[in-house]
Structure 1
Amino acid sequence: MAHRALVIAMLPAIGLRVLAVLGFPPALLFYGDSFAFLSEKLAPGTTRPSGYSLLLAVLRPAHSLTLVTVLQHLLGLALAVAVYALLRRRGLPGWGATLLVTPLLYDEFLVLLEHMIMADAIFIVLVTAAVVLIVWRVTPATAAVGGVLLGLAGITRTVGLPLLLLTAAYLLIRRYGWRPLVALLVAGAIPLGAYATWMKVEKGKFALTEADGNFLWSRTMSFADCDVIKPPERLAVLCPQMPVAERPYPPHWLWESFSPLLKVPGPANRNQLAGEFGRAAILAQPGGYLGAVATDLTGLFRWERTAVDEKTPYKLPASERPLNESVRDVAESYEGGPAATRVVEPFAGWLRAYQRFGYVPFPVLTLVLAGALVTGLVRRRWDVLLPGLAALALMVSPPFLAAFDVRYVIPAIPLVFLALGLSLVARDDLRPRPSPSQAAPGARARSTTWGTERRTTG
């Protein structure tokens, strides 16, 4: 059987997901975010786009969080199969392609996100599916579908927005022609424009969120010194009062009662002033900004994702956590009954034990990405650029815009190993090429490998 290695690898991976379904029914819930997505009142989100809420609204009539998580698990498995298929198409043997999708099948954090009521699993599927499709073959049709997927990713998590522009730059640099480029951009603009129009109708602002300025401001709380920034009076209310050494991590400044951000009335006004303060702080203290970003990026060199005694929402629970009164009705309305995460032994314990070692350490992930990009450039495997640079953007951009979080790195995992596989293929493009007698005179005159490929794939 040609795909025996993949089938063998998928059986335990399916088992891990079955453990999640049996051990933590009906789903894992994340702070207040999950309940915002589950809200029966469908509206554009203030702090995050509501693309994931739209999916949950479609599934709401079933009144089953288990249905949501099972669907996410299935999509995660299907994504591994798609990456495997692309690598096989590019000439890798079955065992090699299977080895490269093993992290997609077995990384504990991917399993956790698939079982969580959060936008991350769907975001990972949308971004990776778009990249796989475009790398598979560039035509106006595939570019259009890829553009729609990236547009949907952008209304699922705003960090997806730069990936649409990155993909457009890739098509432009590779000289695939104007039709795929236009198809990508127009198709990508459709979900983004529709969502921004919805935001305009509901909240009077043509945008995807009302919190980009808030997050940038929270980033500057790591270093901001108002004696140096000298903000105008209308921004001075946002100055931190704590000494730098005593300040908590940036996300705490968004929600905690000590935050001066909460003194500013109105979400839109707050976001506007916070954005102005953030930009002023960065311009006044560029060294402090880059130092804070560099400090956060050291998280990519931490071997353990979470220490044994570290408090984090990303550990599988050992006991049931009752829902707060403020969110219980939202969750139980969606579920049509009790919705708190239950812990069912021994299945939950087996998966908790696996979580302690079943992951790709970030230093390994970073090294693999660097190796894939360097190998791709040296061997002129130009298709490595799209997944490789997309993965790099996902890994390094959050500390520039908000803060480092383990969860923000996980979407890069499928793209990193796709890039590695593409860097190892025997030839960059296996599509048929015209013979010299069939090629136009201009094409024969430009007979380099890359030049011929550009002429035949545009």
Structure 2
Amino acid sequence: MRTHRALLIALVPAVILRLLAVVGYPPALYFWADSFAFLREELAPGTTRPSGYSLLLALLRPAHSLTLVTVLQHLAVVGLAVAIYAFLRKRGLPGWGATLLVTPILFDEFMILLEHMIMADAVFIVLITAAVLLLIWRSTPVTSGVAGLLLGLAGIFRTVGLPLLVLAAAYVLLKRYGWRSLTALLVAGAVPLGAYAVWAKAEKGTYALTQADGNFLWSRTMSFADCEVIRPPAELAVLCPNMPVEQRPYPPHWLWEDFSPLLKIPGVAHRNELAGQFARKAILAQPFDYLQAVSVDFKQFFRWERTASDEGSPYKLPSVERPLKDFAKDTADSYESASASTRINEPFAGWLRAYQRFGYLPFPLFTLGLLVTLGFAAWRRDLDALFPGLTALALLVSPPFLAAFDLRYVIPAIPLACLAAGLTMLRGESRPHSMEEPRGPRHSRRHAQAGNP
């Protein structure tokens, strides 16, 4: 108890905040249509998103409890924070230091919101961070294989996890873990991805995780695309925006709204293919406009205020109950075997809403901290710290390039950044020694050189 006093003190309010979510907003929170697509009873590969989370929900369906789903997600993230704490303590950080580094995971209001939402994000966060933690912890084929499996599973929860397997392979190569560890990592990572692709082929006729990557990239180009410059062929011209640049809405709106020319193209696969072709032509024809649009999104990382001001935003804890539409209500009620609409129980919900107004890590501090961590790790050539830091950076920068900035896309980088920061704080003598150079003999040589027997 005395050894881990700081962590235990921090865990108490962290658990209380999650209890407020469970009691104040039963059985769960929902994200527009996405949550209900995951809850569908009929299982099929997703069109706009992979269905890994749907498979997890199907495993839990017999319990008919969305509360069980959210409680498990809350416990998983708290457990992840404890695992990072334990790892940093093992590497030599004092209890207060390791506890301080996991406080953003335990107390960030948006982390708690994602845990309480029927969305893949909380599970995705646990999968990728656990994989990175395993690879840094021990260099064996077994741990590499488990890490690869976790990253492969993460890829069928959210496709942004796919490049992380490449980063992990580069880390294993640079650390010289050996060909067996590298093979275990890649093979284990390919198993869930390959199985899902075969399932998609059987159901939809194509090997793919989604049929929307072209759509999302096309929506990104709607921030700047000028068809007089692009000069697309006739079959792509239908995708040209029909309003001035200054009047165009944010990229995601072009995917779903009635005004979008994307919806005029029949056939899911055909639409995605044409959208991808248009997007690539637009980027090649207007590369500087593309980079400028991306840079506008990057400015969000330096915005202090984070809580959405729109009462209807799914990122803002509701103060009044929001009735579900019929299709959504039927889907959620079927899973719950009862009414699944979000209920608001005061005063617990009100206390959590009050906390949401200030209980978060401001993006400017987070961004600056990550950049400083990366710079320090690069200066020290510390691969163990660079790996989670670069993984966090990849999660941050890829959405603005491929789709658009979204607050939900930033949160998965927080645990990885905390881990990287902790590793950079270790002093040289606290760092683990390589498997080829065990601590005992090296320690003895140092004393011998000092004149000790």
Rounded to whole Å, the distance in 2 between the matches of 1:124 and 1:28 is 18
Aligned to 1:334: 335
- SS of the aligned residue for 2:319 comes to coil
1:112 aligns with 2:121: no
* Secondary structure at 2:292 match in 1: helix
Letter paired with 1:334: Y
Pair 1:267–1:435, CA change in 2 (3 A): closer
- Equivalent residues in 2 for 1:177-326, closer than 5 Å: 177-308=178-309, 312-326=313-327
The Cα of 1:377 is off from its aligned counterpart by 2.2
Match of 1:455 in 2: none
Number of equivalenced pairs: 440
Distance in 1 separating the partners of 2:188 and 2:422: 28
Match of 1:50 in 2: 51
Q: Please give the per-residue CA displacement for 1:71-118, whole angstroms capped at 9, x wherever unaligned.
A: 000001000011101101110011110110011100000000000000
Partner in structure 2 of residue 403 of structure 1: 404
Q: Distance in 2 between matches of 1:385 and 1:322?
A: 46
Cα distance, 1:186 vs. partner? 0.6
SS in 2 for 1:248: coil
Q: Distance in 2 between matches of 1:326 and 1:191?
A: 31
Unmatched 5+ stretches in structure 2: 446-453
| Counterpart position of 1:429 | 432
> Residue in 2 aligned with 1:164?
165
Does the 8 A contact of 1:148 with 1:191 survive in 2? yes
Q: Deviations over 1:393-451 (max 9, x none)?
A: 00111000000001100000000111000001123424666479979xxxx9xxxxxxx
**Which residue is 2:346 aligned to?**
345
Q: Contact 2:48 / 2:212 at 8 angstroms: preserved in 1? A: yes
Q: What is the DSSP-based 3-state SS (H/G/I as helix, E as strand, rest coil) of the residue aligned with 1:283?
A: helix
**1:86 counterpart = 2:84:** no
Within 5 Å, give how 1:115-126 maps onto structure 2.
115-126=116-127
Verify the 8 A CA contact 1:38 1:56 in the aligned structure 2. yes
Look up the SS of the partner of 1:155 in the other structure: helix
Q: Distance in 2 between matches of 1:259 and 1:267?
A: 15
Secondary structure of 1:89's match? Answer: helix
1:11 is displaced (CA, Å) by 0.6
1:145 alignment partner, SS class:
helix
2:50 maps to amino acid = P
Corresponding position of 2:449: none
Q: Structure 1: state its 5+ residue gaps.
A: 445-458
Could you tell me which residue of structure 1 aligns to residue 448 of structure 2?
none
Structure 1 vs Structure 2: percent identity of aligned residues?
70
The CA deviation string for residues 278-334 of structure 1, in whole angstroms up to 9 with x for no partner, is: 001000000110000000110000001135457532000001111101211100000
**Two-structure CA RMSD over aligned residues (Å):** 1.6
Q: 1:239 and 1:286 mapped to 2: Cα distance?
A: 17
User: How far apart are the structure 2 equivalents of 1:311 and 1:24?
Assistant: 16
Tell me, in whole angstroms, the C-alpha distance in 2 between the residues paired with 1:307 and 1:322. 20
Distance in 1 of aligned mates of 2:309 and 2:244:
30
Residue 61 (1) aligns with residue 45 (2): no
CA distance in 2, matches of 1:217, 1:48: 16
The answer (yes or no) to whether the contact 1:213–1:273 under 8 Å persists in 2 is: yes
Partner of 2:175: 174
- Does the CA-based 8 Å contact 1:90-1:430 persist in structure 2? no
After superposition, the Cα gap between the structure-2 partners of 1:185 and 1:432, relative to the gap in structure 1 and judged at 3 Å, is closer
Which deviations, in whole Å up to 9, do the C-alpha atoms of 1:10-39 show, x marking residues without a partner? 010000000000000000011000000000
Offset of residue 257 of structure 1 = 0.2
**Structure-2 residue corresponding to 1:372:** 373
Could you list the structure 1 runs, at least 4 aligned residues long, displaced by more than 3 angstroms after superposition.
Answer: 307-311, 430-439
**One-letter amino acid matched to 2:191:** I
Aligned to 1:154: 155
What residue is the counterpart of 1:453 in the other structure? none
Q: Contact between 2:310 and 2:316, CA under 8 Å: does it hold in 1?
A: no
Name the aligned partner's letter for residue 181 of structure 1.
L
| Alignment partner, residue 451 of structure 2 | none
SS of the residue 1:250 aligns to: coil
Task: Give the secondary structure class of the aligned counterpart of 2:157.
Answer: coil
CA–CA distance in 2 between the matches of 1:153 and 1:140? 20
Residues 307 and 113 of structure 1: CA distance in aligned 2, closer, same or farther (over 3 Å):
closer
Change (3 A) 1:200 1:432: closer
Distance 1:81 1:252 in 2: 39
- Which whole-Å CA distance do the structure 2 matches of 1:198 and 1:436 have between them? 48
For 1:435 and 1:429, the matched residues in 2 are separated by 9
What is the CA distance between 1:4 and its match in structure 2? 1.2
Deviation at 1:347, TM superposition (A): 0.2
Q: Deviation at 1:187?
A: 0.4
Q: Pick closer, same or farther for the CA change 1:88–1:411 going to 2, 3 Å.
A: same
Aligned AA (2:151): L
Report how far residue 372 of structure 1 moved: 1.0
